[in-house]
Structure 1
């Protein structure tokens, strides 16, 4: 792995896990020493983080970790709606039905899965990850997939602030299954509508859980 890639991956992980809190100043000398890289690859890594929207320049302070705000969450979901609805449409047109038939069967087991232990809950999150990957593959549009990947980076950061709610996870699993069904059936507009419903509910839940925590920071 190149030194710049290593620095990028480590800093990105620290930001999305809140080890580097919003507003943290990323001093070049300090970060280069901590990460064990020279300043040139560190600068490359920081440039990528700026492009991701995780780091931004602030006058008089250099580069800092970007803030998370309620307005920012809403704007993020506006973009997510546009991108993921289009991805769902494309996936419904270009999908391999067998892939989504298997995912549909797996999502049928989720209600029981989420009523058991933490290990089973991790299995559910893995299933959601595999659904995302299947939709990305079926959409067959690398530009769209890259843009969605950038949005997901910010979503991971938000999830670190939100405690899991079992009822919301059950509702989300049902919504995911509706997306899978629509893609499997090859219905692009139904797939987009199911995605819209899921993301609308996800935004509402995220604002309810994360908003009060942001207001107290």
Structure 2
């Protein structure tokens, strides 16, 4: 018989193994190491990740709930594919969530924190250290900081949980897009405008700027996908890029 303490410790260790397996598989799926269609055999993955089958099943269950894997048989799971239609659907949800989040952040957020973020976006150097990779990495880190500040400002667990699910898929979506320096520079300016609008508590501008940013991002990703695979159809109209400080059109 186990004591209560022993059972609790065993449960903690099992959960840690499950979390570790989930984190590793999530990173490999998002980075493309595990490509769409890759087979995740239960026995093989448990041995590779150094966990027993129970925590592996829990990790796979979480990934299935995220929509990143699908079960083909009781012991075989595959990485799901993502295509142009999936991307459009993700952005439909993203638009609804992020526009609402931007509006709420303008009403509830720490103005000084978003003013600092706007300042930081204005100072982004995408060609930092000559090669450019460091500058892009710093920009993506800044976006992560912006997302954290947005979540804290919204202060709505239901909304932020939904946003986390969408962001999980966005990592895969961004990887499908070609490296586009012009689009990346425009994205920096768009994020600066969103942060600045939130800092001045202009909820309408914050929501509108978010809408423009997502429209442009979707168009760029679908255009990139079309160029690489020819599979994207029905892409939206040409992107609308508005200068920093522009007011929403009525």
Verify same fold: TM over 0.5: yes
Cα gap change, 1:60/1:101 in structure 2, threshold over 3 Å: closer, same or farther? closer
Task: Give the match for residue 126 of structure 2.
Answer: 114
- The runs of 5 or more residues in structure 2 that have no matched partner are 1-14, 232-250
Q: What are the within-5 Å matches in structure 2 for residues 90-129 of structure 1?
A: 90-110=104-124, 113-116=125-128, 117=130, 118=132, 119-129=134-144
Shift of 1:59: 6.0
Between stretches 57-66 and 144-153, larger displacement belongs to: 57-66
- The runs of 5 or more residues in structure 1 that have no matched partner are none
1:193 aligns with 2:208: yes
Q: What are the within-5 Å matches in structure 2 for residues 63-142 of structure 1?
A: 63-110=77-124, 113-116=125-128, 117=130, 118=132, 119-142=134-157
Shift of 1:187: 1.8
Aligned residues, how many?
Answer: 214
2:25 aligned counterpart, secondary structure:
helix
Task: Give the match for residue 37 of structure 2.
Answer: 23
Structure number with the bigger relative contact order (C-alpha 8 A, sep ≥ 6) is: 1
1:47 aligns with 2:61: yes
Shift of 1:207: 0.6
Distance in 1 (alpha carbons) for counterparts of 2:111 and 2:74: 55
Higher Rg of the two aligned structures: 2
Distance in 2 (alpha carbons) for counterparts of 1:135 and 1:56: 31
Are the equivalent residues in 1 in contact too, given 2:42–2:76 (CA < 8 A)? no
Are the equivalent residues in 1 in contact too, given 2:119–2:192 (CA < 8 A)? no
Shift of 1:181: 1.5
1:205 to 216, 220, 224: 220
Shift of 1:105: 1.4
2:197 to 146, 169, 182: 182
Structure with more helix by fraction: 1
Distance in 1 (alpha carbons) for counterparts of 2:37 and 2:230: 15
Residue-by-residue CA offset, 1:7-63 (whole Å, 9 max, x unaligned): 101111111111111111211011111111110001000000000000112369842
Between stretches 53-62 and 5-14, larger displacement belongs to: 53-62
Q: Could you say what the CA RMSD is over the residues aligned between the two structures, in angstroms?
A: 1.8
